[in-house]
Structures are given as structure tokens and as C-alpha cells.
């Protein structure tokens, strides 16, 4: 069997870092870990070609060569995903699809012509698919209510990647999250009981990447790295000596719940292992909204103190914020802005609430008959208006979103937060650097940042040089991190205009240019 594995393109989004990628000479932030894990589950006698369309496009010769096309996608990749299915069908190729998007909304993949749906987690459903192929089945849907034992998972095919095209590499240690946030689809996809690999497995993956020549930042892509605290501490205790033995070839970033700040031992272990950053789902400083959305872990301790404690432990904070919760009071956007300024979080991901399929929020809104029929499936992008009727005017939420994003990413505000966050990071005595760039890309990135911000932009030129000199003089360990954050500003200064444009297109007017208007009728909101 000749299988062509394709990962669809991402549209320009908050996390695509398009301008950053361009000035750094890179193509994508992260490799597609899911589909290269599926590649490891396929028979060894199959011929495999892999194409990440965010790095390089497949060729006509690839399409002609293959017998089978395998696609994996997240919701935000929906347009390219469907275009690829239709192209494969048009060329007479069999198509198998999987990943979070078709798992959540399988009918849409079928409607585009996919022959095989390999849903849920591949360790259990890929073997079902292979058995069906052996029996000559022309189509099929393969599902499993059970969750696989990830200690038996295959090592991803990192060798298939064009590694020098990515900002980071990625591994996964666990799946699932113990919490019950109403809007989150992680628990519907992967369950509430976090399943972890063995420390030896994770170290073997790191060793593989090391042997392939990777040096630099590495994302542990778990949706909640500390979901199983006992097992993650076992891993960290083995990771620390491995890192020391290999002369600290990687620096790590991951995602975790805010209760990380409650575990001093975890913070210490992560620091010693080389974690330089963590993404937190803060969502909102409004305690009543956190209660409504069942994000109770964010209500146990003051959020500002939690952020400061994580900074003190040596980690930069990335964070997500959401507007549009039920019962939300006017001014939520301004309160998020105030929180971000108080904590100096450089890159707050501000989004408008969506109800993903099969979440508790989706189910509740469906019962309340508040889902919009014509746009019932969200896009996965943060600057799309909600796919349901909110409890306060859509126009008000949209205005707070656009104004909040615009002000948070005003260049002087953004650079000031980057500077303040880097200075606030503690516990760096043992580290050479907090963040590493891929080999050969660092000098190009530095030169581009100096050109764009130290020379070309008069409105931030003086601020850039003053802050850079202070970092070099007072805290050189964070220099790479600081320059990386500065470079990312080039992306966000373009993206804030795109976010405003997208909301304006959906509303039919620019919410920052028009006085507050009555809420438009739902059907007037363009899908």
C-alpha cells in the first residue's frame, strides 16, 4: 500500500505567528504530532510519504503515486481539510480521515466524500481500519468507547518531519484532564482520567529527537501537563538527570491548569528540568463567570498571586481569556485588560466564547434552544462571533473584544509587558538561557528584530533599545526569550488588524467606530 499522509493548512490565526515565521526563516510553529503517531501505527511494509502543507505542498507526483490518502485535522483547519478530501475523491483515491475535528463532527467528513473515518484515539481505531482494509471493505467508520493505555503507544515518526522548518518540536506525555470546564472539548475527546506514558517512553522520544539532531525548544502538548501530578513528578525526576547528562539540549513549554501554583514541588521540578514557559487557561478574572463555566480550579486562590508564583518559579506565562460567558457583566473586556496589565502577561489570547460540539456547554445550549442553526459548528478561530445566543448583546461583546485586542497589542503596551514579564521571572541561576531557537535561525531572527524595531519603527525605537540594554545588563539569561517575544510582536501587530477586520465583516460595521448599537438579530450575523 502506498499511503500519502497530509496535514492541512492552518489559516492565519493568533497562534500561526505568520510574520514571526517569516522573519525567522521558519515555516510553522509545531509539527503535527497526531498524524506522525498514526504513521507509526501503519504496517511496516507500507510505503509512506508525508506532507505538512504548512511547510511544503504535496506534488502532482505524490497524488499520482499514492493508493490511499490519510488526513488529520483540527476544527480550525476545516477549509483545507474538506478541499483535500474532495480533491482525493476527484482523483479516484481512497480517503481515510481522523483527528479532533472529524471525531467531533464526523458527518461533515462523510459529506465531503471520505471513505474511512478513523475516529477517537488511533491506538484502538487504526487496527480496526487496517483489518477492514485486509477484508476488502470499501468504506467504514471506526470508533472506540474505550481509552487506550498510552504506555503502549508507538513512538511518533519524527524522522518524517522537515525538522528545520519548525520553531519547536513536540512530544505528548499525557491525555485527558481531571477538570470539568463547561466549554472545553478535551474531556469529551480524551476523558477526565489523565493517562500518562511511562517516563522511560517520554525519555526515549526525547533521545530520538536528540539523535536526529534537534536542539532547541520543545512543546509538551498535553492539554493539562499536571493532570496526573504523581506520574508527571515521576517523569520530571527522571528528566532532570537526563537533561544534565545531555548538557541541556532542550528547553520546555507546556500547558497546565492554574492550580500549578499550589504545588511548590512541581514548580521546583519543572524549573530544574528546564521548563521556561507555561500556557494557563485563566479565561476571566470574574469569579462569577468562572463559577458559571465550572472552572472552579481558578477560584480557589487569587489569580494574580498564582501568576506571580509561577513567574517566581522561573516560567513565562502565556494565557487564554474568553468573553461571552452566561451572566457576564458589561466591562468584562476592560477587566481582562486590567488583569493582563497587572500580571504583565505578554501574549494574552483573547477570544470570544464558542460552544464546541459535544461539550457540556453545547448540550446545555441545545436544550435551551440557543444554538444558531445556520452556524452551529464553530470555526475554531478566536475572532469568530459566538455560535449561540449570549446573555448580553453580541454588539457589546464584539466591541469589548476588538477594543481589548487592539489595546493589548498596541506596540508600546506589548513591548512593555514583554520587558516586565522577563524581569519578573525568577529562579534562573542554573540556566544559560530560558528559550532556545533552532540552530542557524537565531542570528537571522535577532538581525530582523533589530532592523524592524530598533531602526525601522520610530514609535518604538527608543523603547526597544532602552529595554534591550536593561535586559542585557540585568538579566542576560532571558535575552533569547525577550527577543523572541519582541519578534512575535510583528505577528500580533498585523493580526490585531485582521481580527478587527473579521469581526467587522461578521457584524457589518466596525465596533470601534460606531457608538454602541442595539443587538443585531441573530440571522443578520454572517456565518
Q: For position 522, what pLDDT does the model report?
A: 39
Cα 1 to the center of its chain, rounded Å: 33
The average pLDDT across 144-169 equals 95
Q: For position 186, what pLDDT does the model report?
A: 86
Among 9-13, 371-375, 383-387, the range of highest mean pLDDT = 9-13
Q: How many CA atoms lie within 13 A of 359 on its CB side?
A: 23
Report the distance separating Cα 64 and Cα 68, nearest Å: 10
- DSSP structure string for 21-63: HHHHT-SBSS--HHHHHHHHHS-TTSEEEEEETTT----HHHH
Lowest mean pLDDT among 226-240, 335-349, 422-436: 422-436
Higher pLDDT, 55 or 517: 55
> What one-character DSSP code corresponds to residue 368?
T
In this predicted model, what pLDDT tens digit does every residue of 306-339 receive, in sequence order?
999 999 999 999 999 999 999 999 999 999 999 9
Q: For position 432, what pLDDT does the model report?
A: 55
The predicted model scores a pTM of 0.93
Q: 43-49, long-range: CB within 8 Å, 24+ apart, which pairs? A: 43/1, 43/130, 46/1, 46/2, 46/3, 47/1, 47/2, 47/3, 48/3, 48/5, 48/157, 48/160, 49/2, 49/3, 49/4, 49/5
The average pLDDT across 479-483 equals 93
Report the distance separating Cα 503 and Cα 211, nearest Å: 46
Q: For position 515, what pLDDT does the model report?
A: 60
Q: For position 393, what pLDDT does the model report?
A: 94
Report the distance separating Cα 148 and Cα 1, nearest Å: 26
In this predicted model, what pLDDT tens digit does every residue of 348-357 receive, in sequence order?
999 999 999 8
Q: For position 516, what pLDDT does the model report?
A: 52
pLDDT > 90 in the chain, percent: 87
Q: Is the per-residue pLDDT at 244 higher than 80?
A: yes
- DSSP structure string for 134-192: HTT-S-EEE--SS---GGGPPPP-GGGS-GGGBS-EEE--EE--S---TT-SHHHHH-S
408's grid cell: 493589548
Which of the four pLDDT bands, split at 50, 70 and 90, describes residue 444?
A: confident
The answer to whether 103 and 119 have CB atoms below 8 angstroms apart is yes
Q: For position 519, what pLDDT does the model report?
A: 44
Q: For position 188, what pLDDT does the model report?
A: 82
6's grid cell: 497530509
Q: Is the per-residue pLDDT at 259 higher than 90?
A: yes
Q: For position 187, what pLDDT does the model report?
A: 82
Q: What burial class does residue 458 get, using C-beta atoms within 10 Å of its C-beta: 0-12 exposed, 13-18 middle, 19+ buried? A: exposed
Report the distance separating Cα 227 and Cα 236, nearest Å: 14
Give the residue among 349, 500, 494, 497 at the shortest CA–CA distance from 20: 494
Give me the helix-helix angle, 461-474 and 479-507, nearest 10°: 140
Residues with Cβ within 8 Å of 355's Cβ and at least 6 positions away in sequence, in order, are: 183, 361, 362, 365, 371, 378, 386, 387, 388
Report the distance separating Cα 287 and Cα 71, nearest Å: 41
- Burial string for 49-81 (b: 16+ CB within 10 Å, else e) reads bbbbbbbeebeeebeeebebbbbbbbbbbbebb
Give the residue among 274, 282, 273 at the shortest CA–CA distance from 255: 282
Q: For position 441, what pLDDT does the model report?
A: 75
Lowest mean pLDDT among 81-95, 183-197, 482-496: 183-197
In this predicted model, what pLDDT tens digit does every residue of 491-505 receive, in sequence order?
999 999 999 999 999
Which of the four pLDDT bands, split at 50, 70 and 90, describes residue 521?
A: very low
The answer to whether 79 and 380 have CB atoms below 8 angstroms apart is no
368's grid cell: 435551551
The average pLDDT across 374-394 equals 76
Q: Is the per-residue pLDDT at 62 higher than 90?
A: yes
The average pLDDT across 430-443 equals 66
Higher pLDDT, 433 or 507: 507
Which of the four pLDDT bands, split at 50, 70 and 90, describes residue 514?
A: low
Q: For position 427, what pLDDT does the model report?
A: 78
The average confidence (pLDDT) of the chain is 92
Q: For position 378, what pLDDT does the model report?
A: 52
Q: For position 523, what pLDDT does the model report?
A: 34
Q: For position 189, what pLDDT does the model report?
A: 84
Which of the four pLDDT bands, split at 50, 70 and 90, describes residue 380?
A: low
Which of the four pLDDT bands, split at 50, 70 and 90, describes residue 525?
A: very low
The average pLDDT across 81-94 equals 98
Report the distance separating Cα 105 and Cα 117, nearest Å: 11
Which of the four pLDDT bands, split at 50, 70 and 90, describes residue 527?
A: very low
Q: For position 513, what pLDDT does the model report?
A: 85
The average pLDDT across 133-147 equals 96
Amino acid at each position: 500500500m502506498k499511503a500519502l499522509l497530509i496535514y492541512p493548512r492552518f489559516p492565519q490565526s493568533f497562534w500561526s505567528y505568520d510574520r514571526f515565521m517569516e522573519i525567522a526563516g521558519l515555516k510553522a510553529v509545531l509539527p503535527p504530532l497526531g498524524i506522525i503517531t498514526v504513521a507509526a501505527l501503519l504496517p511496516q511494509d507500507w510505503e509512506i510519504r508525508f506532507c505538512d502543507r504548512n511547510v511544503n505542498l504535496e506534488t502532482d507526483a505524490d497524488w499520482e503515486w499514492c493508493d490511499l490518502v490519510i488526513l488529520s485535522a483540527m476544527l480550525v483547519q476545516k477549509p483545507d481539510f474538506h478541499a483535500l478530501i474532495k480533491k482525493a475523491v476527484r482523483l479516484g483515491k481512497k480517503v481515510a480521515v481522523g483527528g479532533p475535528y472529524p471525531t467531533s463532527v464526523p458527518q461533515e467528513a462523510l459529506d465531503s466524500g471520505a471513505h474511512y473515518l478513523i475516529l477517537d484515539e488511533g491506538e484502538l481505531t487504526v487496527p480496526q481500519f487496517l483489518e477492514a482494509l485486509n477484508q476488502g471493505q470499501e468504506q467504514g467508520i471506526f470508533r472506540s468507547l474505550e481509552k487506550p493505555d498510552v504506555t503502549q503507544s508507538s513512538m511518533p515518526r519524527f524522522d518524517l518531519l522537515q525538522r528545520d522548518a519548525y520553531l519547536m518540536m513536540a512530544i505528548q506525555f499525557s491525555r485527558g484532564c481531571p477538570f470539568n470546564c463547561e466549554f472545553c472539548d478535551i474531556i469529551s475527546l480524551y476523558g477526565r482520567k489523565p493517562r500518562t506514558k511511562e517516563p522511560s517512553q517520554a525519555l526515549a522520544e526525547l533521545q530520538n529527537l536528540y539523535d536526529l539532531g534537534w536542539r532547541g525548544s520543545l512543546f509538551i502538548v498535553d492539554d493539562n501537563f499536571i493532570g496526573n501530578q504523581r506520574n508527571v513528578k515521576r517523569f520530571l525526576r527522571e528528566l532532570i538527570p537526563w537533561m544534565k547528562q545531555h548538557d541541556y539540549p532542550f528547553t520546555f513549554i507546556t500547558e497546565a491548569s492554574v492550580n500549578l501554583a499550589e504545588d511548590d514541588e512541581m514548580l521546583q521540578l519543572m524549573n530544574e528540568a528546564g521548563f521556561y514557559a507555561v500556557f494557563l487557561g485563566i479565561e476571566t478574572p470574574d469569579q462569577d463567570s468562572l463559577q458559571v463555566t465550572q472552572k472552579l480550579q481558578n477560584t480557589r486562590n487569587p489569580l494574580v498571586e498564582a501568576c506571580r508564583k509561577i513567574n517566581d518559579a522561573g516560567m513565562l506565562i502565556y494565557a487564554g481569556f474568553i468573553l461571552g460567558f452566561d451572566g457576564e457583566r458589561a466591562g468584562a473586556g476592560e477587566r481582562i485588560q486590567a488583569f493582563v496589565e497587572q500580571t504583565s502577561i505578554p501574549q494574552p489570547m483573547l477570544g470570544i466564547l464558542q460552544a464546541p460540539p459535544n461539550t457540556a456547554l453545547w448540550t446545555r445550549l441545545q436544550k435551551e434552544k440557543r444554538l444558531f442553526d445556520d452556524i452551529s459548528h464553530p470555526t475554531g478561530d478566536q475572532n469568530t462571533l459566538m455560535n449561540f445566543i449570549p446573555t448580553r448583546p453580541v454588539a457589546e461583546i464584539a466591541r469589548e473584544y476588538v477594543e481589548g485586542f487592539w489595546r493589548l497589542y498596541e506596540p508600546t503596551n506589548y513591548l512593555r509587558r514583554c520587558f516586565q514579564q522577563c524581569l519578573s521571572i525568577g529562579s534562573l541561576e542554573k540556566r544559560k538561557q530560558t528559550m532556545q531557537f533552532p540552530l542557524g535561525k537565531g542570528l537571522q531572527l535577532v538581525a530582523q528584530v533589530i532592523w524592524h524595531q530598533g531602526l525601522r519603527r520610530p514609535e518604538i525605537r527608543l523603547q526597544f533599545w532602552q529595554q534591550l540594554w536593561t535586559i542585557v545588563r540585568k538579566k542576560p539569561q532571558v535575552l533569547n526569550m525577550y527577543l523572541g517575544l519582541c519578534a512575535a510582536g510583528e505577528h500580533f501587530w498585523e493580526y490585531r488588524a485582521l481580527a478587527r477586520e473579521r469581526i467587522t465583516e461578521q457584524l457589518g460595521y466596525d465596533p470601534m467606530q460606531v457608538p454602541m448599537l442595539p443587538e443585531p438579530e441573530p440571522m443578520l450575523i454572517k456565518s
